[in-house]
């Protein structure tokens, strides 16, 4: 199985990089955008075929390492 | 005073902090990050500055989970002293030893300059050699030093007097100009609940020798070694 984990900043947490990207987009004439936030994507391959076990494992991976839950949220998608 | 400086791949300020500690009279050993225990008799564990693991994932994220950090956590739980400077502060936050997180500087640039700090309290093992509200002249050098914590955590830190240092101007004023990385409440360093763990972004170890421009960092190492 394959999985994709998306880590994003929580609402309200300042994202200077997102702001810089938004300003850059506008400078290229792409003006109808707002609220740009930068995040991270992790693609993983999982040996097990047990979806529930894989979800539990990936949740542990997020909580232990992939996300800093003080400022970040994550979503797990098994594909 | 026996100090153990933990070294990770990418640490680069371990030599400077070891030198500053030795200058104040501490006996210093270095501990590689794969070690599972600190040397017997360690009083102070130091997590130095640098770019551990190339700052991959998040600054301090991978180092914060290294084997040696389990030993540092156990040392702190026994009441042992822990000092984290710059990347070391980021590592202590990622390891759960200190609350909050160091975010990208608000103006998005790496900052590297002399910096005044206000010493918030002098009754901890780290600051007895300073005077209360003393303004000290040290250095900062970081891209991710913007201290952030949720409102409850921040209120707790302030209420319990756990802010160690704040960025200030030459007269101790907490101005926006002096807080160039955008830290909440101008926070430059915080203590753990028991005040045996200190994390700080600025580099006191840079300024322990008049030859390189200042000696205001000595107080921290003198306090520890006293």
Residue B17 contacts A where some CB pair is shorter than 8 Å: no
Is B5 a residue whose pLDDT tops 90?
Answer: yes
CA dihedral B12, B55, B92, B2 (to 10 degrees): -20
Domains along the sequence of chain A with CATH: 2-78 (3.30.1280.10)
Question: Taking CB atoms and an 8 Å cutoff, what residues of chain B touch A13?
Answer: 103, 148
Average pLDDT over residues A41-63: 96
Share of chain B above pLDDT 90, in %: 98
Residue whose tokens read 């002098």: B122
Q: Catalytic one among B59, B75, B86, B94?
A: B86
The predicted-structure confidence for B94-105, as pLDDT tens digits, reads as follows 999 999 999 999
Residue B193: active-site member: no
DSSP state of B132: T
What is the enclosing helix (H) or strand (E) of B89? helix B87-94
- What is chain B's mean pLDDT, rounded? 97
pLDDT band at A12 (very low <50, low <70, confident <90, very high): confident
In B, residues 165-184, which contact A (CB 8 Å cutoff)?
A: 182
pLDDT tens digits, B20-34? 999 999 999 999 999
Structure tokens at A56: 């539990």
Taking residues B180-204, report their average pLDDT: 98
What is the residue range of B79's domain? 2-225
Is it the case that residue B68 has pLDDT exceeding 90?
Answer: yes
ipTM score for this prediction: 0.81
Q: Are B86 and B58 in contact (CB under 8 A)?
A: no
pLDDT of amino acid A17: 85
Dig out the tokens for B44 from the structure: 């102070």
* pTM of the predicted structure, to 2 decimals: 0.93
Give the CA distances from residue B30 to residues B35, B70, B136, B138, in Å, rounded to whole numbers and listed in that order.
11, 16, 28, 24
- Residue B29: its pLDDT value, please? 98
How high is the pLDDT of residue A7?
Answer: 97
pLDDT at res. B108: 87
Cβ of residue B148 closer than 8 Å to a chain A Cβ? yes
Chain segment B139-153, per-residue pLDDT in tens: 999 999 999 999 999
CA A56 from chain centre, in angstroms, equals 18
The whole-number average pLDDT for the span A29-44 is 95
Contact B100 A70 (CB under 8 A): yes
B105 CB within 8 Å of a chain A CB: yes
Q: How far is B216 from chain A (nearest CA, A)?
A: 32
Place of tokens 């970040």: A72
What CATH number corresponds to the domain at position B179?
3.40.50.880
**Average pLDDT in the A6-22 region?**
90
Nearest by CB to B150, which of A65, A66, A70? Answer: A70
Let me know if B27 is a catalytic residue. Answer: no
Residue A14: the pLDDT is 84
The per-residue pLDDT for B31 is 98
pLDDT at res. A16: 84
Q: Is the pLDDT of residue B74 over 90?
A: yes
What is the nearest CA distance from B209 to chain A, expressed in angstroms?
A: 36
The encoded tokens of residue B184 equal: 């909440």
- Minimum CA–CA partner of A17 in chain B: B108
Looking at the structure of chain B, the number of domains it has is: 1
Q: Please, what is the average pLDDT of chain A? A: 94
Q: Which helix (H) or strand (E) holds B159?
A: helix B151-159
Phi, psi of B211 (to 5 degrees): -60, -30
Search chain A and give the residue with CA nearest B146: A14
Q: Is B33 a catalytic residue?
A: no
Verify whether the Cβ–Cβ distance A14 to B58 is below 8 Å: no
**Does the beta carbon of B48 lie under 8 angstroms from any beta carbon of chain A?**
no
């Amino acid at each position: 199985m394959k999985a994709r984990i998306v880590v994003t900043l929580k609402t309200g947490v300042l994202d200077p990089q997102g702001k810089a990207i938004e300003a850059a987009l506008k400078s290229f004439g792409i003006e109808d955008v707002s609220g740009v936030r930068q995040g991270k994507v992790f693609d993983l391959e999982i040996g097990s075929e047990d979806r529930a076990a894989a979800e539990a494992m990936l949740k542990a991976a997020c909580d232990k390492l992939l996300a800093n839950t003080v400022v970040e949220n994550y979503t797990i998608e098994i594909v | 005073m026996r100090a153990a400086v933990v070294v990770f791949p990418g640490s680069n300020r371990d030599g400077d902090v070891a030198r500053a500690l030795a200058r104040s009279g501490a006996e210093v050993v270095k501990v590689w990050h794969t070690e599972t225990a600190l040397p017997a008799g360690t009083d102070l564990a130091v997590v130095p500055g640098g770019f551990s693991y190339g700052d991959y994932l998040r600054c301090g994220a991978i180092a914060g989970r290294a084997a040696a950090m389990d030993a540092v956590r156990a040392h702190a739980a026994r009441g042992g002293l822990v000092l984290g400077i710059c990347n070391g502060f980021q590592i202590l936050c990622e390891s759960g030893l200190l609350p909050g997180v160091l975010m990208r500087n608000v103006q998005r640039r790496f900052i590297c300059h002399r910096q005044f700090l206000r010493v918030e309290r002098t009754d901890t093992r780290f600051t007895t050699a300073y005077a209360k509200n003393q303004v000290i002249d040290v250095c900062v050098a970081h891209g991710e030093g913007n201290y952030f914590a949720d409102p409850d955590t921040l209120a707790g830190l302030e209420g319990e007097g756990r802010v160690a240092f704040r960025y200030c101007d030459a007269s101790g004023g907490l101005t926006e100009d002096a807080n160039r990385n955008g830290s909440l409440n101008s926070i430059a360093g915080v203590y753990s609940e028991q005040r045996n763990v200190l994390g700080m972004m600025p580099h006191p170890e840079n300024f322990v020798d008049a030859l390189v421009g200042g000696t205001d960092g000595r107080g921290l190492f003198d306090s520890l070694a006293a």
